[in-house]
């Protein structure tokens, strides 16, 4: 006769195996919880795999979507008809996330969404706001500083908070590889010097972004380099992402290529400044002005979604300008 206990044990083992195979990734992800995520404002405990996710700040939803989830609430970008970045519209699909103000944190609106976790990694969340958000749900912010997290930090911390660290690291590695492959496919850009800047009408100079800024770091991944003067400015300002360079100092920049993003009216104002237009790069047509919303946001709020969406086009613009 069969031993009833042995039969029951075998049936139980079979059912466990079936559950593991059918629930694979979900079971694995759930088993790592609770987890702790360390960041600049504390150490956040997340009890279970989050399902209702709210993102605040810039481009936080990009990393969540890239990891296969859709936030219940995310930042609204009023420059786009849908209120979303165009590179995210397909991933959002038929879901209807609530779009939150990008100007101030609406704590009541966030609480109404009943989030399991709040992600404010590329944001200006301070200690007071962090405490208010944490009273609503576990909240994860930056490790670097307010408005300083690059797309890699944002992706990695999002992966940690969602129990998808390995997937997040793969997204980072794949995106870096894509940038480097784009650079390899455009050898004329390798070792070209560039500045990436902006201008605000009425100013007596321009903002120049330094190598720590994601805009600049992405072009360095393509194989380009900053001019010696910008490298010196970075050494003198090791904690800064950008510096102000007056029109009188501008000739010291001497880049092969000038990339500028502009708010409405700013380009026209700057191009009336003789000390800017006397730059050899401008005179020769080695100049890439970014004025439309897609160009500005894809290069200012970089992510694992915006880079594959925009940079294959952007590198063509850079290569065409460098050819002059």
13 vs 309 pLDDT, higher one: 309
Structure tokens that stand for 245 in this block: 């360079």
Whether residue 6 is contained in a domain is answered as: no
208 lies in the same domain as 145: no
Number of residues in the chain = 324
Query: Total structural domains in the chain?
Result: 2
Does 21 have pLDDT greater than 70?
Answer: no
pLDDT surpasses 50 at 37: yes
Quick one: average pLDDT of 266-282? 97
Same domain, 42 and 162: yes
Residues 313 and 188 in one domain: yes
Angle at 110 between CA 104 and CA 114, to 5 degrees: 175
What confidence score (pLDDT) does residue 23 get?
45
- Helices 165-184 & 214-221, crossing angle to 10 degrees? 60
C-alpha–C-alpha distance, residues 7 and 258, integer Å: 75
Looking at the structure, do residues 185 and 255 belong to the same domain, yes or no? yes
Does residue 317 share a domain with residue 185?
A: yes
313 preceded by a cis bond (ω within 30 of 0): no
Q: Is residue 186 part of a domain?
A: yes
Tell whether 215 and 294 lie within a shared domain. Answer: yes
Q: What is the mean pLDDT of residues 151-157?
A: 98
CATH of the domain at 75: 3.40.50.1980
Phi/psi-derived region of residue 148, left when phi > 0, alpha when psi is between -120 and 50, beta in every other case: alpha
Residue 1 has pLDDT above 90, yes or no: no
**What is the share, in percent, of the chain residues with pLDDT greater than 90?**
90
Where in the sequence is the domain holding 117, given as residue range(s)? Answer: 31-169
Residue 265 pLDDT > 70: yes
Domain ends where: 109, 137, 169?
A: 169
- In the chain, which ranges are E strands? 35-39, 42-46, 53-55, 73-75, 98-100, 117-120, 139-141, 194-198, 205-209, 242-246, 257-261, 287-290
pLDDT at 31: 78
Q: What is the pLDDT of residues 206-222, one digit of tens each?
A: 999 999 999 999 999 99
53 and 121 inside one domain: yes
Contact (Cβ atoms closer than 8 angstroms) between residue 132 and residue 106: no
Q: What are the structure tokens assigned to 9, written together?
A: 């044990």
Is 46 in the same domain as 83?
yes
- pLDDT for residue 68: 97
* Mean pLDDT within 261-273: 96
Which one is predicted more confidently, 8 or 118? 118
* Measured distance CA(240)–CA(235) in Å, rounded: 10
Judgement on whether residues 72 and 186 belong to the same structural domain of the protein: no
Cα 216–chain centre separation: 13
pLDDT digits (tens, 9 = 90+) for 107-149: 999 999 999 999 999 999 999 999 999 999 999 999 999 999 9
Name the DSSP letter for residue 185.
T
Lowest mean pLDDT among 15-29, 204-218, 273-287: 15-29
């Amino acid at each position: 006769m069969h031993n009833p206990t042995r039969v029951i044990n075998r049936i139980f083992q079979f059912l466990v195996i079936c559950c593991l195979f059918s629930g694979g990734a979900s079971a694995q992800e759930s088993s790592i919880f609770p987890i702790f995520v360390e960041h600049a404002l504390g150490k956040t405990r997340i009890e279970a795999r989050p399902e209702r996710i709210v993102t605040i700040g810039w481009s936080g939803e990009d990393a969540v979507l890239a990891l296969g989830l859709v936030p219940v609430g995310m930042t609204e970008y009023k420059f786009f008809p849908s209120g979303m970045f165009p590179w995210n519209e397909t991933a959002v699909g038929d879901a209807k996330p609530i779009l939150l103000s990008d100007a101030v944190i609406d704590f009541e609106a966030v609480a109404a969404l009943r989030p399991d976790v709040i992600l404010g990694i590329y944001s200006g969340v301070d200690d007071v706001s962090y405490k208010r958000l944490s009273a609503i749900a576990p909240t994860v912010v930056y490790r670097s500083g307010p408005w300083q997290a690059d797309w890699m930090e944002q992706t990695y911390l999002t992966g940690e908070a969602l129990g998808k660290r390995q997937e997040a690291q793969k997204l980072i590695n794949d995106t870096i590889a894509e940038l480097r492959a784009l650079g390899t496919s455009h050898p004329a850009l390798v070792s070209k010097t560039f500045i990436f800047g902006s201008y605000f009408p009425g100013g007596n100079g321009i903002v120049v972004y330094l190598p720590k800024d994601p805009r600049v770091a992405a072009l360095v991944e393509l194989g380009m380099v900053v001019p010696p003067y910008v490298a010196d400015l970075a050494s003198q300002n090791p904690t800064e992402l950008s510096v102000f360079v007056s029109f009188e100092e501008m000739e010291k920049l001497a880049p092969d290529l000038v990339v500028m993003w502009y708010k409405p009216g700013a380009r026209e104002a700057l191009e009336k400044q003789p000390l800017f237009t006397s730059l050899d790069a401008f005179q020769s047509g080695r100049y890439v002005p970014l004025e439309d919303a897609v160009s500005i946001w894809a290069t200012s709020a970089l992510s694992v979604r915006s880079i594959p969406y925009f940079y294959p086009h952007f590198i063509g613009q850079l290569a065409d300008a460098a050819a002059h």
